[in-house]
Amino acid sequence: MLAPRASGRSAAAAPNQQQPPWSRRQGKKPVLCGYQGGGGEGQGVENGVGMRGCRQFNPDIIIILIIMYVLCAAEFRSGLRYSFIVALGYLSFCQITRVYVFDYGMYSADFTGPMMVITQKITSLAFEIHDGLAKREEQLNPSQKYLAVRRMPSLLEYLSYNCNFMSILAGPTCSFNDYIAFMEGAGYQPPQPLPPQHQELANGKENGKYHLMEPSPKSDVIIKLCTCLASLGVYLALCKVIPVERSLDPAFVSATPFYQQVLYLYLAMLALRPKYYFVWTLADAINNAAGFGFNGYKKDGSPRWDRVLNLRIMDVEFATSVKMFIDNWNIQTALWLKRVCYERCPINPTAATFLLSAIWHGVYPGYYLTFLTGIGMTMAARALRHNVRPHFQTSEVRKQVYGVITWVGTQVAICYMVVPFVLLAVGPSLQFYRSWYYCVHLLCLLLVIALPVKGRHLRATQQQQQQQASLHQKEGCIVGEDLQSDHHHHHHHHHHHHTTTDNNCNKKDT
């Protein structure tokens, strides 16, 4: 679902009629800053026009940050409507300028990449300040309580959070509280009392407390850099061998059985994903190398460096549901969408979240086709899971069968959904969907209509009621144990055999 701005070399550019569809982008070279002159390849960079475009917008980033700081300080109690609109509107303006003025369909390492990250940070911090200063404690869920900012940050803190070198180019986004804790060194403070497996790392006591040496990210950084190299090697080796655009070739479609087309699309997307693995893993490694990302300790005592983790490769590749795929792909962006939109939108939060994701990614039509497809796909997957999954949970064999079936369905559905994200343009995207007879769209529509599913608020209410019932049950257990303990305390000379209860309030002899 969620990915960084696409590499941008669209199949919509005017093709050479002598070339097959999957080679239409050959001969185009990436430019530095989003402009390619009409007189020849790279002319925009050679004559300085492209760089003027970058210089024109770089000061604007600082200006828009100062404007957003003033807006946030002025309206943090009133809902942050204008802050959100201004931040997202300026990002859209930058993306429209890059795509339709400078270089439609061409890759460019320009100002819109940092603006995408900054937009996430601006809006996240605005809502965190709103939660901390304008809402009562009982109005916040546990995540919002943790993220809430209880004071207005200074301008220096605001600019530092948004423009720090660790995440300015490729992210990932982090919360303001986590960033400030890192800057102040509070993120390394160990729990008290210190767990036994960490005491050997302590180098003495300070004021009666263990003083723990700062954990080293060296091993995690090395592993992530190796993952980057492997991902880059796989992508460079396979991206030209299995191009997605070949799925559009009429000769390929007519001569290839449908099941082979499905298999080819899966392999093409499998070869495409490592470039995202490379970028996100490298960004995570950069943060860890700077000392940011520490997230406590594992059970074996080794440090965890996954606070700003943006990707879980194995969970992506073996996802058995659309939700599982989304939750492990571009994790920090998914969390941003959840926190600023899904948890706060009163009407159809699923559709609103996918729409916000499309707007944030850019203005290419393929983005909107992908995320509009994602809305129906998510609703269908939810309905299918609620109605079918319980029938496969009665035995281990059925669970494994269900896992294999859902893995195949999820991978095919995700590949089908993101084809427009890769192709970018409407024409090639619809051509692909026509070659598949819109089968996944029709299947999702059928599932949504045929299978009932409870609304989000009803599910949340029932879940809350179940939690309260479970809590009351546990409280009853505790009271029963206390009464039973008192009874045995006063009459232990009459009773040598007594009972206790387990977590499910079932009595057992001891």
* Distance between CA atoms of residues 368 and 360, nearest Å: 11
- Nearest CA among 179, 76, 155 for reference residue 123: 76
User: Which amino acid, one-letter code, is at 396?
Assistant: E
Sequence-separated (6 or more) residues with CB below 8 Å from residue 491: none
Question: Is the backbone peptide bond immediately before 349 cis, with ω within 30 degrees of 0?
Answer: no
Q: Are 100 and 118 spatial neighbours (Cβ–Cβ below 8 Å)?
A: no
Return the SS3 of 132: helix
* Distance between CA atoms of residues 349 and 342, nearest Å: 5
Q: Are 142 and 134 spatial neighbours (Cβ–Cβ below 8 Å)?
A: no
- Nearest CA among 458, 411, 456, 419 for reference residue 435: 419
- Residues designated as active site: 330, 361
* Distance between CA atoms of residues 231 and 276, nearest Å: 9
* Distance between CA atoms of residues 62 and 60, nearest Å: 5
* Distance between CA atoms of residues 49 and 56, nearest Å: 11
* Distance between CA atoms of residues 34 and 362, nearest Å: 14
Burial 279-306 (b: 16+ CB within 10 A, else e): bbbbbbbbbbbebbbbeebeeeeebebb
Give me 273's structure tokens. 């994903």
Q: Where are the alpha helices (DSSP H) in 20-80?
A: 43-46, 49-75
Q: Are 249 and 21 spatial neighbours (Cβ–Cβ below 8 Å)?
A: yes
Q: Are 329 and 311 spatial neighbours (Cβ–Cβ below 8 Å)?
A: yes
Q: Are 264 and 294 spatial neighbours (Cβ–Cβ below 8 Å)?
A: no
Does the CA dihedral 309-310-313-317 come out positive or negative?
A: positive
Angle between helices 439-450 and 365-388 (to 10 degrees): 40
First-to-last C-alpha distance (Å) of the chain: 53
The residue to which tokens 């879940």 are assigned: 463
